[in-house]
Amino acid sequence: MWLIRPAPGTLPGCSGDRSSGVEHLVVVQDVAGSNPVGRPFQAMRIHCVQFDIVWENKDANHLQIERLLDDSQPEAGDLIVLPEMADVGFSFALDRIVDERSEAWASSLAAQWRCWIVHGWPVLGADGRGRNVSGLIGPNGEVIGLAEKMHPFTLGISGSPYSPGDRVRVFDVAQTLLCPLTCYDLRFPEAFRVGMRMGAEVFTVIANWPQQRSDHWRALLQARAIENQAVVIGCNRTGSDPTFRYAGGSLIIDPQGIVLAEGGDQPTVLTAELDVDSLRAWRASFPALQDVREDLLGWRGAGHSG
């Protein structure tokens, strides 16, 4: 494919969250074709950053990420994806890990590289409980929106301070529709189906996915790409924390389930080109999404918002 770059001094548009249910249904109809009217595609590269997160140490983790990006040299308009809770690890200590630094640092990093960034960090909800979010930051450093983890991981863990999100969200990233999900969400295909029906063409799954279930990680990411005819980016961490070991294995997968890039168990940056024109052509030539039985999912007659 031809890789189109923004001209010097220009930035891709930041059009934000698409939260109208009616708008989403219209978008789904549009994206069945290979070149939706009014949504020309601007190509970008994906940079998936996997590394060993230092436990509850934001400064050390920010430095690791910055060094890895210095080596990979993303270009203006590219998409950078970081793991779940990338600058603290999968910690429950909200009193130690929730502050303004995670968001401020990610905004600064996005503006520095003039890239889109998907970054995971913890925030406090209005009820005082934690929210594990996947935040989207635009190339000008603006926080476009936060997608809360829909399914907090509770298996074998008591006293989790995190509450589940209440809706799937889809964002417009330079004329490409992106749905951010987080780790354990991967085991629940209905969350991806909702995102697909909202028009999602790309799913990011940021994670702290344990080593002992690495086979599930790979199989489920491929399945979500195939069944939703979407690009799926799974960004996992490496190393260990006080509870688990992590094997990395980050993946970038095309809409037919073909692995475009795969990480081992060491810190690295996976890079692949995002070919949305090809994705839309595949959806048009093999329109399986048109046969989704919404009545089986209880969606008939209901509008769904981001």
Beta bridge partners of 115: none
Residue 35 vs residue 278, higher pLDDT: 278
Q: Could you give the CA distance from residue 200 to residue 66 in angstroms, rounded to a whole number?
A: 29
> Which pLDDT score, from 0 to 100, does residue 2 have?
25
- Give strand pairing partners of 239: 246
Instruction: Please tell me which residue, 298 or 73, carries the higher pLDDT value.
Output: 73
Q: In terms of DSSP bridges, do strands 79-81 and 116-124 run parallel, antiparallel, or are they unpaired?
A: parallel
Catalytic positions: 84, 149, 183
Tell me the CA distances in angstroms from 61 to 49, 55, 85, 96, 267, one per residue in order.
Answer: 12, 9, 10, 15, 12
Instruction: Assess if CATH 3.60.110.10 describes domain 15-31+44-297.
Output: yes
Mean pLDDT, the chain, whole residue set: 86
Report the percent of the chain where pLDDT is more than 90: 78
Average pLDDT over residues 277-291: 97
Position 296 confidence tier, pLDDT thresholds 50, 70, 90: confident
Residue of 33, 72, 135, 117 lying closest to 271 (CA atoms) = 72
State pLDDT tens for residues 238-258: 999 999 999 999 999 999 999
Give pTM, 2 decimals. 0.86
Handedness of CA 31, 32, 35, 36 (dihedral sign): negative
Tens of pLDDT along 10-66?
333 334 444 433 233 323 323 333 333 334 445 789 999 999 999 999 999 999 999
